[in-house]
Structure 1
Amino acid sequence: MSLRDAIDNFYERLVLDAIDATREDADNADYLTDVMCVALNHLPARYYRHAIDMVFFLTDEELKGMKEKSLAEVQAARDFVREHQRN
């Protein structure tokens, strides 16, 4: 196992969940990948090694706030990517 595979950014999962929650029929993989990149660039990195560590150390309120931030950033990223699509 490499060091690269040993850690994850918790916001990646939250952004994926927010993308799934706001998915539209017209969305394609390239668009959604751009949305994910833009959203993640506006969120802080929150790295962890073991998922159980995040669950143990996060309060319910902190997790709720992180989910809300992720959803807001995905919605903003959707608008940004739509307005700046490559032709």
Structure 2
Amino acid sequence: MKIADDIHNYYERLVSQHFAVLKVDEKYDEDFIADLTCVVLNQLPTRYIRHEVDMAFYLPASERFEMENKVKTAIDKALVFMTTHHTN
């Protein structure tokens, strides 16, 4: 088993999904997005999984809603931080 291939943090997917909704890739360059991703994920707890289907099947809707709200809040805070502190 290779941890990098078999196990990942579910919050990474949620962050990526929310970035797509916000069209982050259309507004910022790759370096900014990489830094933004780190700032966002460092605010969130980890939730390691092996398969996406496990989360879809076992995660209660209320917990999924809470996780999505945490992601939105973390992204909002990170964008404020990054836009005021990021240098090229």
TM-score of the alignment, normalized to the shorter chain, above 0.5: yes
How many angstroms does 1:59 deviate by? 0.4
The 5 Å alignment of 1:2-81 reads 2-23=2-23, 25-81=26-82
| TM value normalised by structure 2 | 0.87
- CA deviation string 1:20-55 (max 9, x = no partner): 222354311111111111000000000001111111
Gap runs ≥5 in structure 1: none
Aligned residues: 87
Off by >6 Å, runs of 4+ in structure 1: none
Percent identity at matched positions?
37
How many angstroms does 1:2 deviate by? 2.1
More helix by share: 2
